[in-house]
Structure 1
C-alpha cells in the first residue's frame, strides 16, 4: 500500500514538474514576443525620425534574441549600405550569408559593398550567385565587367554572350556618365556589346571589336562611350 502511495506521489510530482516547465516555457515565449514587439516599435520610430544609431541598436537586440530570423540581419546590412558604411555593410552581409547563403539581399549588399571597397575579386562571386538565383541581367553585366577588369577574358566573353543573347537585355537600361555631366540611359545589350568591343580591343582584334561596337551604336546611336571606342578602334 505504501509503495502504491509512493508511486502515486512520484507521478503527481512529475506531472506537476512537467506542467511547471510548460508554464515557464509559455511565459518565456510570451516575454520574448513582447520584447520583440517593443524593439520593433522602437526601430520603426527610430527610422521614422532618421535616428539610425537607435535603429541599429534595436536591430542588434533583435538579432541577439532571434538568431534564426534572417530578416533582422538583412535590415542591419541595408542600413549600413544606405549610410555608405561599405565595410560594415560587407561584413554584416557576409555574416548573413553564412546563416542563409540564398539571401538575395545579403548577396546584393555584399557584392556592391565589396565593389565600392575596390575588392572586385571578392565581389565577383556574389554578383555571379545573385544572377544565378534571380536571373537579374544587371548582375550578369556586373559579373562580365568584373571578369573583364580582372583579366578573366574568356569568362567575361561567355557572360557577355549570355547577356547579348537574352532578348530582355534590349529592354533594360544602365546609366553611363556623359560629357555634360549628366547620365546617359543606355540599353543593357548595347552596353554589353560596347564592353565586348573593349575586350576585343585589348586582344588587338580589330575586326571583332569593330563588329561589336557597330552593333552597340546601331542600338544606341548617342552612346558617347561607344563613339569614343569606335574612334580608338579605327586607329588600330
Structure 2
C-alpha cells in the first residue's frame, strides 16, 4: 500500500509538472503571437502612412482592411476607413462602414458623423436624421443641431424643427460660430449660426403659412447678419 501511494504521488507530481509546462508553453505562444501581430501592425501602419502621403488610396485601403482583420476589436481602423471612403465621395461604402461601427459602439463620434453625412448625401434623410440628433447630444456640436433642424424642416417635421431651431438660437455660442452659404454661382458668404437659425425658422413658418412670423424671423436674421443674401431673398419672396 505504501508503494502504491508513493507511486500515485509521483504520478500527480509529474502531471503537475506537465501542466505547468503546458501553461508556460501557452503563455510563450501567446506572447509570440502578440509580438508577431505588433510587428505586422507596425509595418502595415507605415505602409498606410506612405500610401496616403503618395495618394495611393487603393494601397491605403488594403492596409486598413488587413489591420481590421488582424485587430477586430480596434475601432480606430474602421473609423479611418469610413472617413477615407467619405473623403473619396464613396458615400455608400462610407455609410456601410459607419453603420457597422455603430453596431459595435453606438457612441462612436466618427461613426455617427460619417453615417449622418453619408446617408444625407445618398438622399436617405429619414435614416440620417437620428444620427445627427445623437451626434449633437453626445458632442454638443451646434452644426449637428442645425443639420437636425434643417432635415426636420425638409421632412416637414415642423414642430420638431422649430424646437431644434429655438435650442440653437438660445445657445450663446450660436452667435460666435459661423456657417457658409452660397452667394451667386461661385461665391460663399459667412454668417453667424444664430442668423442661419433665424433664417431657417423663417422658412419653417413660411411653409406653415405663418407669413408674419416668417417675416419677423427673416428680419431678425438680417439684424444679426445684415448682408445675409439668402435671408434677403427669402424676405423679398414674402
TM range (shorter): over 0.9
Alignment of 1:72-111 (within 5 A): 72-111=77-116
2:138 pairs with 1:138: no
Instruction: Quote the offset at 1:157 in angstroms.
Output: 0.3
TM-score, with normalisation over the residues of structure 2?
A: 0.95
TM-score, with normalisation over the residues of structure 1?
A: 0.96
For residues 181 and 4 of structure 1, the distance between their equivalents in structure 2, rounded to whole angstroms, comes to 89
Partner of 2:177: 172
Q: Secondary structure at the match of 2:33?
A: helix
Partner of 2:3: none
For residues 3 and 140 of structure 1, the distance between their equivalents in structure 2, rounded to whole angstroms, comes to 74
Partner of 1:2: 7
For residues 80 and 167 of structure 2, the distance between their equivalents in structure 1, rounded to whole angstroms, comes to 33
Q: Which runs of 4+ in 1 moved over 4 A?
A: none
Alignment of 1:32-181 (within 5 A): 32-181=37-186
Q: Secondary structure at the match of 1:31?
A: helix
Deviations 1:81-106, CA, capped at 9 Å, x for gaps:
11111110111111111111111111
Partner of 1:208: 213
Q: Which runs of 5+ in 2 are unaligned?
A: 1-5
For residues 70 and 93 of structure 2, the distance between their equivalents in structure 1, rounded to whole angstroms, comes to 21
Pairwise CA RMSD of aligned residues?
1.0
2:28 pairs with 1:23: yes
Deviations 1:7-43, CA, capped at 9 Å, x for gaps:
2211211111111111111111111111111111111
For residues 162 and 14 of structure 2, the distance between their equivalents in structure 1, rounded to whole angstroms, comes to 79
For residues 228 and 16 of structure 2, the distance between their equivalents in structure 1, rounded to whole angstroms, comes to 83
Partner of 1:230: 235
Q: Secondary structure at the match of 1:131?
A: helix
Deviates more, 1:146-155 or 1:60-69: 60-69
Q: Secondary structure at the match of 2:189?
A: strand
Matched pairs, number: 233
Deviates more, 1:141-150 or 1:23-32: 23-32
Q: Which runs of 5+ in 1 are unaligned?
A: none
Instruction: Quote the offset at 1:180 in angstroms.
Output: 5.0
